[in-house]
A and B are shown apart, each in its own frame.
Chain A
Amino acid sequence: MAADFKTAQPVEYYRQFLKKDVRPDGRELGEIRSTIVNIGSISTAEGSALVKLGNTTVICGIKAELCTPTNDEPKKGFVVPNVDLPPLCSPRFRPGPPSEQAQVVSQFIADVLKDSKMVNHEDLCIAEGKIVWVLYCDMMCLDYDGNVIDACIISLLAALRNVALPSIEVDEETAKPKLTSSTSSTMTVQSLPVSTSFAIFDNSILIADPTNEEENLATGVVTVVTNECGELCALHKPGGSSLSESQIQECVKRSFSRGDEIRKLLDETFNSLDR
């Protein structure tokens, strides 16, 4: 019976739950699904991380390659983030070129990466004007159950911190790159932005970390990105229903506490790896 009600009138079904300040999966309105991070599981990548946010699973693999820098910025390397939402992860995606949603998420993450200065692009320089690193950061969704932005940003952050680049120098005589030592160096990630997404239900109720179902029924979404210094990096609210100032404040506040939780989780995971 409940299943029929849900298929026939999903919005009404949700309203019944939200009246009692609870969601059909048992979470409170501001509660975020449990987050699991697994770092360095893909050995063919220079850095990798798998993030599970409830059922939503995103794997980020970073491949490093060499290239020549642009003439304008001879000392700067490249970081190329791309989000892939393959048909594997949900029945809503079809094979073919990236969907509109994948393009939007990719662009948003590229903007966050650039604006928050996660990576110092000059760290990626090998020989000025000649050769620099390019990091291809590909985030692939393996299971789509809503809130893919948050999962992508956490996986990107964890994978970047996991990157180990071989030491390379340019040979003076042949002008070709050569390996200087077999040890690889880790990269410093300068800032640690974490995003928190909310869905707006019925133009007024805010729910944190929406699932796929909740995203489909929502009248709007907000994503707030904050970093470890207590600064706001980005606030993304693509249209939808309007929010009051106090509601935005509440989102930002929740995002700060969530950011600290995630950074702590990542630190713990890295510490357990080192041991």
Chain B
Amino acid sequence: MPLDSKRIPGPRESFPVTNFISTEKDNPDLVNDDGTRHDGRKPNDIRPIFLRCGIISNAKGSAYIETKDTKVTCAVYGPRQVVRREDFKLTGTLTCDFKFATFSCQKRQQHMQSSNEKDLSLIVLQAMEPAVCLEKYPRAQIDIFITVLQNGGSALSAAITCASAALAAAGIEMYDVVVGCSTRQIGNTCLVDPAYDEEYNSKTGGKNNGSLCLGLMPSLNQVSAFIECGELETEILMQSIHSCVDGCMRIYPVVRQCLTKSIKSLQKHQDGT
């Protein structure tokens, strides 16, 4: 690894504790015999969501989402003037920067943005672009910054929900909010809003093993983002999509409630001054 002269250097190489100590669970099956998951949820239960807008005072709009172990914060800046001449367009430009905090995962993350994070940035960006009325912001740039503080599973879908709440709180004109939800498919079981140890990894093979993440615009009833990995039969995939859309519709009221609350507090603030 190249030496990073702009940070305090550590030892040349170090290893996470998990390299030496196996953390394998006693029960490799994700679903217990009685049909519940490890954390006690039913397969199509989502974790309780805490969503709040306006937590970063400097940002135009910001949001924080917490679904038990997953904690994501997002800030929106702009519309501001484009920095680079090459980026100049007559409609508005949207940018997105997705970062896992170094301490957010089991294994320590690097400070530099990894290719995985760049990939996720693009997914969130493409999920937001159809929802934002970019033609209303000529020559301007809107920046979305997402930081995952703790990754307890389904970080991408939480980031999508969080980013659209932050955009709405920033007063950016949008056609609709985007609500994100993930599912994990194993065999015929579909786990909605998977936790960290339920997330898909390619090691556990088998038929109909995969996961998907979906961004839904609820009032338009359109899908703005759809990512699938793993191998799924068409029929099972359709079922999984339905569970995902169903999950989104259950998250949507939380987003609505949060935005209504943020407008109310805005008004109180105005009355106070």
Contact = CB atoms under 8 A, between A and B. Distances in A.
- Chains A and B in contact, CB within 8 Å: yes
Interface of A: 41-45, 48, 55, 57, 59, 61-68, 70, 78, 80-82, 84, 86-91, 94-95, 97-98, 102-103, 106-107, 110, 134, 136, 138, 140, 142-145, 166, 168, 176-179, 212
B48 interface: no
A61 B58 contact: no
Chain B interface helix/strand/loop/mixed? loop
B75 A80 contact: no
Contacts, number: 138
B14 interface: yes
Given A67-B15, A94-B83, A45 B20 contact: no
Given A44-B105, A98-B7, A110-B8, A65 B97 contact: no
Interface residues of B, number: 46
B101 A43 contact: no
Interface of B: 6-17, 19-21, 55-59, 69, 71, 73-75, 77, 80, 83, 97, 99, 101-106, 108, 111, 143, 145-147, 149-152
Contacts of B69: 43
A245 to B, nearest CB: 33
Given A66-B17, A136-B102, A59 B149 contact: yes
Contacts of B149: 42, 59, 61
A168 B108 CA distance: 19
Contact of B17 (A65, A68, A140): A65
Contacts of A103: 6-7
A245 B53 CA distance: 46
Given A44-B106, A48-B103, A142-B73, A88 B145 contact: yes
A81 B73 CA distance: 22
B21 A179 contact: yes
A143 B99 CA distance: 16
A84 B111 contact: yes
A61 B101 contact: yes
A66 B58 contact: no
Nearest to A54: B57
A64 B10 CA distance: 12
A137 B111 CA distance: 12
A89 B75 contact: yes
B56 A142 contact: yes
A168 B17 contact: yes
Contacts of A84: 102, 111
A98 B6 contact: yes
A59 B105 CA distance: 15
Contacts of B21: 166, 168, 177-179
Select the residue from B58, B80, B105 with max chain A CB neighbours within 10 A.
B58
B111 A82 contact: yes
Given A43-B150, A66-B17, A82-B8, A140 B101 contact: yes
The 8 closest A-B pairs by CB, nearest first: A61-B103, A67-B14, A88-B145, A80-B10, A45-B103, A65-B14, A55-B57, A63-B108
Given A43-B150, A66-B15, A97-B6, A86 B145 contact: yes
